[in-house]
Structure 1
Amino acid sequence: MLIEKVKKKGLTNFDIKVLGIVLMFIDHVHEMFATAGVPTWVDMFGRPVATIFMFLSVEGFTHTHNQKRYLFRLLIGFWVMGIGNLIVSHLFGGTDVFLANNIFCDLFLGVLTMYGIQTISSGLKRHQFLEILTGVLVIALPLIFSALLMEIMQGSLSAYLSYFMLGIPMPLTAENSFFLYLGPVMYLLRRHRGWQMIGIACAALISTGFNFTGLFTANTQWLMVLAVLPLSVYNGQLGKSMKGFFYGFYPIHIWGLYILAWLLGVGR
């Protein structure tokens, strides 16, 4: 009955966000308590999560009344999460869990790339070379910073630069690395839901490295393809807002689970 209702009415933006945070919470329970005996297969629940939120970021960027404010919120989220991770790790360290979760990095870079694509498109339509160049730079700068960080890691440049680089979102340090560009791909395909789903399936196939052994053990990232199930029935409606809750839930639940694991002596 519930399945039939979903097929008929579809899922709102709010519904998909709720599904995303539930799956995310289960995944992070595994991350923080794996050494306490939480089975490895629990990790599979989290594989579609990043893809779900990348899709929602396309919707957010496309429909927001202020794209720059939307970008700024994601950047603030990245800084708050990064600083918070350092503080929590320092106060409750000594476990075998490395606290580096920061999906805001991936979402900011994805939306920034969308903004660059939009700027290039606008420049081409208006024959404004400076606008086109601005769009190209917006897309290229995070990649340039990634290359710079690689040089630092190889000892080719001053290590002091690494402190500066910590506050800059870049693909090299993002949770999903260069797979974050699935978001901009879905932005380019935003008028064709079917092609968006095909894009997700292609990304899932690439994530296997075309090695199909150990798909349920060694490499489960391909399960991101399951994101097509809720996204294919998205009805385009916003539903409830609760914007502050969704922004706040991410850091609070990660830090809370990490501190709980520390209090219980997990991984120490």
Structure 2
Amino acid sequence: MNIIASPDKKSVTGWGFTSYSLKVLALLLMTLDHIYYYLGGGILPVPHFFTLLGRISAPLFLFAMAEGFSHTHDRKAYLKRMYIASVLMSVGNDLINSYLPHPNGAMVINGMFATLFLVGLYIWAVELLVESVKEKNRKKTGAALAMFLIPVFSSIAVTLFLGNAAGVSFIGRMAVRVLSTLIPSPIFVEGSVFWVALGIGFYFLRDKKIGLSVFYVLMSGFFFLSAAGGGMTYENLFILNDQWFMILSLPFILLYNGQRGRRMKYFFYVYYPLHVYVLVVLARILA
């Protein structure tokens, strides 16, 4: 499977990483991170550097998505696949948390499909809004604003619910859960607004390596400065607040050679949720 649509090139030429190899690398590092999260904590002696390496994976997926979205021939079909995958994984997460809970209480909240869906949706909305202004087309303006605002309204509804959870009925809680599943929120998707903004930035800076590098260093620096505010200690910077370690994704991104590489249509869609659920079941067996 191809989680992210890729450049329409049948052969790989040139030195560096193809879109496919970047996604495989991201997948492997993501798996190490999840092994640490689901099998660590006393179940197995998993080294902490597994999760540090995992900080590299999400930016690579976002970059590959941005590159692929610029080449896909059918954006509607692409976003439809991503949306269906996000809904199915959200339902799967609920089932796992309800009927096969992790022995240490770790919650399955993984949902990168929803994040990637919103990145694509907002990229399209930005371009549609620019077109509508140039063409003075009110219909396109309305469509672009709807694409922007509907996920925002979902965020507002979920936020209001969280602020008054005790006073909401069971039916109300279920309605909000269904809403957050069917209409992904830029605040509550995996990586929150930060990942969504990062993916959009990758798209619009994809042909500007210097600009992309500056943008990415600033984004990584934001996390480092936020972490440093808690103290320049190993525990704080490398254990409690290690997201700044994502800076190590940049060399791989800059080595992208513009090629699609190999194609596996369904593998990534299946592997992402399946490996998480297998790790949870394995944690229950080992515990």
Q: TM-score under structure 2 normalisation?
A: 0.84
Q: Match of 1:101, as an amino acid?
A: N
Q: Deviations over 1:14-41 (max 9, x none)?
A: 1111111110111100010121232333
1:85, CA displacement in angstroms?
A: 1.3
1:22 maps onto 2:28 in alignment: yes
Q: Deviations over 1:155-201 (max 9, x none)?
A: 28855142332322112221101112210111121221221222221
Quote the Cα distance in structure 2 between the aligned partners of 1:22 and 1:198.
26
1:5 aligned partner: none
Between stretches 153-162 and 123-132, larger displacement belongs to 153-162
1:127, CA displacement in angstroms?
A: 2.0
Quote the Cα distance in structure 1 between the aligned partners of 2:84 and 2:286.
31
Contact residue 114 and residue 189 of structure 2 kept, 8 A:
yes
Q: Deviations over 1:95-121 (max 9, x none)?
A: 221111111111111111111111112
1:171 aligned partner: 186
Quote the Cα distance in structure 2 between the aligned partners of 1:144 and 1:204.
29
1:79, CA displacement in angstroms?
A: 0.9
1:145, CA displacement in angstroms?
A: 1.3
2:264 aligned partner: 242
1:85 maps onto 2:87 in alignment: no
Quote the Cα distance in structure 2 between the aligned partners of 1:166 and 1:177.
13
3-state SS of the aligned residue for 1:58? helix
CA 179–25 in structure 1, closer or farther in 2 if over 3 Å, else same: same
1:11 maps onto 2:17 in alignment: yes
Q: Match of 1:13, as an amino acid?
A: S
2:284 maps to which of 255, 262, 268: 262
1:118 aligned partner: 127
Aligned length: 258
Q: Match of 1:225, as an amino acid?
A: I
1:264, CA displacement in angstroms?
A: 1.1
% identical aligned pairs: 29
3-state SS of the aligned residue for 2:261? coil
Quote the Cα distance in structure 2 between the aligned partners of 1:42 and 1:192.
31
RMSD, aligned CA: 1.8
2:69 aligned partner: 61
Q: List runs of 5+ in structure 2 lacking aligned partners.
A: 1-13
Contact residue 102 and residue 283 of structure 2 kept, 8 A:
no
Quote the Cα distance in structure 2 between the aligned partners of 1:50 and 1:71.
18
1:227 aligned partner: 249
3-state SS of the aligned residue for 1:173? coil
1:211, CA displacement in angstroms?
A: 4.1
1:262, CA displacement in angstroms?
A: 1.0
1:32 maps to which of 30, 38, 55: 38
Quote the Cα distance in structure 1 between the aligned partners of 2:190 and 2:207.
27
Higher relative contact order (CA 8 A, sep 6+): 2
Q: List runs of 5+ in structure 1 lacking aligned partners.
A: 1-7
Quote the Cα distance in structure 1 between the aligned partners of 2:36 and 2:92.
21
Quote the Cα distance in structure 2 between the aligned partners of 1:262 and 1:223.
30
Q: Match of 2:177, as an amino acid?
A: Y
Q: Match of 1:221, as an amino acid?
A: Q
Between stretches 98-107 and 191-200, larger displacement belongs to 191-200
1:198 aligned partner: 214
Quote the Cα distance in structure 1 between the aligned partners of 2:226 and 2:24.
32
Quote the Cα distance in structure 1 between the aligned partners of 2:157 and 2:142.
21
Quote the Cα distance in structure 2 between the aligned partners of 1:245 and 1:23.
16
1:60, CA displacement in angstroms?
A: 1.8
2:162 aligned partner: 153
Between stretches 116-125 and 48-57, larger displacement belongs to 116-125
1:209, CA displacement in angstroms?
A: 4.4
1:90, CA displacement in angstroms?
A: 2.8
**Which of structure 1's runs of 4+ aligned residues deviate more than 6 A?**
none
1:135 maps to which of 144, 150, 158: 144
Quote the Cα distance in structure 2 between the aligned partners of 1:72 and 1:62.
16
